[in-house]
Chain A
Amino acid sequence: DGGITQSPKYLFRKEGQNVTLSCEQNLNHDAMYWYRQDPGQGLRLIYYSQIVNDFQKGDIAEGYSVSREKKESFPLTVTSAQKNPTAFYLCASSIDKGRDTGELFFGEGSRLTVL
């Protein structure tokens, strides 16, 4: 079955540690995204990538880094510079051939808690 796989589902981290969240898709989608969701707030875009070896900052990129070495993979690193990293992180993908439908396919999310 095609889809998006995020891991780990739950992650605990001590302050000052970097952590990397994995996102893999087998939908053959060109575009991939990372969103953050906090209680009572909408999803906010952290980074996105429309093609391999290229990515762009979203609205809240500070304290995060990404890479896109393969079409299928778009890992997100939450660095120690991120002031409030505890959140629900969602990876998504879409067909992005210019003007697309706007439909995003999401992974099941990674819930990060900083202790």
Chain B
Amino acid sequence: RKEVEQDPGPFNVPEGATVAFNCTYSNSASQSFFWYRQDCRKEPKLLMSVYSSGNEDGRFTAQLNRASQYISLLIRDSKLSDSATYLCVVLRPSGSARQLTFGSGTQLTVLP
């Protein structure tokens, strides 16, 4: 079983739609969780951290469910510019950035 698993997609949604991605992780002692965004043939960039209580940043909402070991990302009112691959990232228990584990990503295409 992979340490971090994501549905690869692709998700093709119309502009204005709401779309949600899930990600599961295998190590129950994992400490921190993140969503990164990667545009085609570009480097990943941090989109948002995921906090235990859930957190929101504009149209983006991240949730963590420790009991079921999954995190989610919800995008409301999708824009064309949201088209990208979204990477789920988990920090292993040691707590250092060197222990970040990346999922293989979920591809999103927002259609006009």
Chain A residues near B (Cβ < 8 Å): 31, 33, 35, 40-45, 48, 50, 56, 58, 88, 90, 94, 96, 98-104, 106-109, 111
A106 touches B98 (CB 8 A): no
CB-CB under 8 A for A42 and B105, given A101-B49, A102-B89: yes
Q: Is B16 an interface residue (CB 8 A)?
A: no
Interface size classification for chain B: 20 to 34
CB-CB under 8 A for A104 and B104, given A42-B87, A90-B43, A99-B95: no
CB-CB under 8 A for A42 and B104, given A102-B49, A104-B46, A109-B43: yes
Number of A-B contacts (CB under 8 A): 66
Question: Which residues from A are CB-within-8-Å of B101?
Answer: 42
Chain B residues near A (Cβ < 8 Å): 4, 8, 32, 34, 41-46, 49, 87, 89, 91, 95-98, 100-105
Interchain nearest-CB distance for B19 vs A (Å): 20
Question: Which residues from B are CB-within-8-Å of A108?
Answer: 42-43
Question: Which residues from B are CB-within-8-Å of A58?
Answer: 98
Interchain nearest-CB distance for B91 vs A (Å): 5
Question: Which residues from A are CB-within-8-Å of B97?
Answer: 31, 33, 94, 96, 100-104
